[in-house]
Structure 1
Amino acid sequence: MSLRARLAVLLVAVVVLGGIAVGSVLRASDRAARRDRQQGGAPPVTSGHVALTEAGPARQSRLVFRNMAWGPHRDELVSVPAADPSGPRTASEVHCLRFYAAAGTGVCLQGVQGVVQDTYQAVVLDAELREQRHYPLTGIPTRARVSPSGHLVAWTVFLSGDSYAGGTFSTRTSILDVRTWTLQNTLEDYRVIKDGNTYRSADVNFWGVTFADDDHFYATLATGGKTYLVHGDIAARTVTTLRENVECPSLSPDGTRLAFKKRVPGLPADAPWRLYVLDLPSLRETPLAEQRSIDDQAVWLDDRTLAYALPGDYGADMWTVPADGTGTPLRLMTAALAPAVVG
């Protein structure tokens, strides 16, 4: 066979194989699209204006959260009307791993790509998602909260380990006053009051701050193989233990209840938690209808409904459950994480 004939055969083979490859990609894409439609996949995402407050008489509550859907807007903060959480998403071009907002102040914990290794930072955002200041983080972001007034922000990072389940981890929790830009770098500098006495231990860890106001908060304290709900006093720089076996508390809008995850004996070591609500006046616990293990700090959508993350096809989906122990869990949003109610 001549050289020209061989080249012709090679060219035909390349064209045929290329056509097969393109056809395979198109069929795979079509199957993925059909699957997403059948399974209630993530809604379309387009760039637009995202804010933490709504102006005008027609303003409505919105959800701002981390978009987990694959594509050019993955990990961006996106917005949807609270009344239509499964609707089309408006993307902000602001990337966050963890996020929360209140009263026009946002906190965005994000990754920063480096030449040698990636790092992380906490970014304080204004109502238009413009950066006000940023602070380097010493570990992997895991929790974030803003006080109801928008004056204080808090975040937690893993210094070592990457899961609360195993018990072999170290965290650091910080509180920042955005009025003065005063940073309390770690709650481990606070005096711990346990059983009425000052308590000291090298294994103290804090995580999961939820603010009552600009002077007080609740959080989780871990020490001696146990976890405790603590009440914090920012001016006095003290935390006081209130109750055992409470993790990632979240204060209700009316300030009377705390949602939290509780370790339940007999559950698997890597999935040990159930959602509960603690009535603060009576200290009565109510187990919620969600029977799966929840490793998240739940968010109150209103005084009656909690939202929380569970693993999904895109990494995480948001689910809801009534806060009074009734009802059944419902999927709120596909491919979503770290929501905040704004408006």
Structure 2
Amino acid sequence: MNVRPRLLVLLLATVLLAALAGIAIVRAADRASERDRARPGEPAAHSGVVTLHQSGRLLFRNLAWGPQRDHVSSVPLTTTAGPRTSTPRTSAPRDCLRFHAAAGTAICLRTTGGVVPRHEAVLLDAELRPVRTFQVSGIPTRARVSPSGRLAAWTVFVSGDSYAGGAFSTRTAIYDTRTGSLQPDLEKFTVLKDGHRHRAADHNFWGVTFAADDNRFYATLATGGHTYLVEGDLARRTLRTLRENVECPSLSPDGTRIAFKKRVPGAPADTPWRLYVLDLRTARETGLAEHRSVDDEALWLDSRTLLYALPGDFGADLWSVPADGSDTPRLTVKSGTSPAVVP
């Protein structure tokens, strides 16, 4: 082949690549425009100040279509169905797959990067400004801050992306904001089952919930095809099994009850859970009035009510139900997930 045909081939290839790049840019712009376009019937959202100093608010990840989609938003606890205030596009955090906050500390688990995505846990202050960032080794799935704001915990899927089947692996970390110490993996803790040390290669932990003393916590342990409620001691680096068939525990504000999801016989394999509350003093379980499968770590909206996410038209909605088994579920926040209460 002489020089002229080679130049022609090169020119044609360049034109083709430029055309493909142009098409990609147009499609990306269309997707961005679609993302920023509010949908009829969706909750109204406007850009504004969202901080942890504002009392009487419910914070959550906004899933309503429009410019504030995927931003941390807030509504008054008294009017959760009303217009929501969202963090500006230029503010942190954005695109939190999981979010939680308490007592002036927040944690945001998000995906970063381009072609090869990465994941990180971002610690935030009361103004929702980044304080420290941790690279994490998997897909974010659970996040919690202790009632005092001192401790933050997060769980990621190292492999798999669902708790419904057995083919997954998790990693759960706890960070102490006061000492700056990080416990990168609860699998390094000593597990005590039936009073004896339990060793197994298939230990998986997720769903941490903290007690008020910033030492005791509860979580889920999966091993041998079973799940257990475990009580953790941060100072001693121990975990003690308490009860079988407990997942994603959430400790009540007074520390006496744990809300959790439980696998029930006869339920479909991919939606096997129902919500229960365990009284830690009497060991009595109470089934709640929500009969749909809940794959979430429920949040105590107050001492009597639980808040949790269920699939919705634009990702997820937040529902509430009394913790004593009475009444019926109520849609509390349309197009929202990962809630946190600022009392």
Identity %: 65
Partner of 2:30: none
2:66 maps to 1:71: yes
Name the CA distance, whole Å, in 2 between partners of 1:113 and 1:66.
20
Q: Is the deviation greater in 66-75 or in 299-308? A: 66-75
Name the CA distance, whole Å, in 2 between partners of 1:130 and 1:296.
26
Name the CA distance, whole Å, in 2 between partners of 1:140 and 1:277.
28
Aligned residue identity for 1:169: F
Partner of 1:4: none
Name the CA distance, whole Å, in 1 between partners of 2:82 and 2:288.
27
Name the CA distance, whole Å, in 2 between partners of 1:196 and 1:84.
48
Partner of 2:271: 271
Name the CA distance, whole Å, in 1 between partners of 2:152 and 2:75.
23
- CA shift for structure 1 position 53: 1.8
Aligned residue identity for 1:86: A
Partner of 1:250: 250
Name the CA distance, whole Å, in 1 between partners of 2:79 and 2:48.
17
3-state SS, counterpart of residue 341 of structure 2: strand
Name the CA distance, whole Å, in 2 between partners of 1:290 and 1:342.
25
- CA shift for structure 1 position 36: 4.1
Name the CA distance, whole Å, in 1 between partners of 2:125 and 2:296.
25
Aligned residue identity for 1:283: A
Name the CA distance, whole Å, in 2 between partners of 1:258 and 1:240.
16
Partner of 1:159: 158
Name the CA distance, whole Å, in 2 between partners of 1:337 and 1:288.
20
Aligned residue identity for 1:259: A
2:297 maps to 1:297: yes
Aligned residue identity for 1:110: R
Q: Deviations over 1:97-126 (max 9, x none)?
A: 100011010001111123x31111100100
Q: Deviations over 1:157-214 (max 9, x none)?
A: 0001100001210000000001122110000000000010000000000000000131
Q: Deviations over 1:255-302 (max 9, x none)?
A: 100000000011000000000000000010000000000000000000
Name the CA distance, whole Å, in 2 between partners of 1:334 and 1:113.
29
Name the CA distance, whole Å, in 2 between partners of 1:84 and 1:36.
20
Name the CA distance, whole Å, in 2 between partners of 1:201 and 1:209.
20
- CA shift for structure 1 position 224: 0.1
Partner of 2:199: 200
Q: Deviations over 1:60-105 (max 9, x none)?
A: 4101100011122111100111111111111114211100011010
Q: Map of 1:313-332 to 2, 5 A cutoff?
A: 313-332=313-332
2:61 maps to 1:62: no
Name the CA distance, whole Å, in 2 between partners of 1:328 and 1:190.
40
Aligned residue identity for 2:154: W
Name the CA distance, whole Å, in 1 between partners of 2:269 and 2:221.
20
Q: Map of 1:18-97 to 2, 5 A cutoff?
A: 36-37=40-41, 41=42, 43-54=43-54, 60-93=55-88, 94-95=93-94, 96-97=96-97
Please report the TM-score for the alignment, with normalisation by the length of structure 2.
0.86
Name the CA distance, whole Å, in 2 between partners of 1:86 and 1:169.
36
3-state SS, counterpart of residue 87 of structure 1: coil
Name the CA distance, whole Å, in 2 between partners of 1:106 and 1:45.
21
Name the CA distance, whole Å, in 2 between partners of 1:267 and 1:36.
35
Name the CA distance, whole Å, in 1 between partners of 2:109 and 2:124.
11
Runs of 4+ displaced beyond 2 Å: none
Show structure 2 runs of 5+ residues with no match.
1-33
- CA shift for structure 1 position 144: 0.3
Aligned residue identity for 1:330: R
Aligned residue identity for 1:112: T
3-state SS, counterpart of residue 188 of structure 1: helix
3-state SS, counterpart of residue 236 of structure 2: coil
3-state SS, counterpart of residue 326 of structure 2: coil
Name the CA distance, whole Å, in 1 between partners of 2:231 and 2:211.
10
3-state SS, counterpart of residue 111 of structure 2: strand
3-state SS, counterpart of residue 187 of structure 2: helix
Aligned residue identity for 2:197: T
Aligned length: 303
Aligned residue identity for 1:298: A
Partner of 2:145: 146
Name the CA distance, whole Å, in 1 between partners of 2:244 and 2:325.
21
- CA shift for structure 1 position 219: 0.2
Name the CA distance, whole Å, in 2 between partners of 1:36 and 1:175.
41
Q: Deviations over 1:31-51 (max 9, x none)?
A: x98x843xxx3x111111000
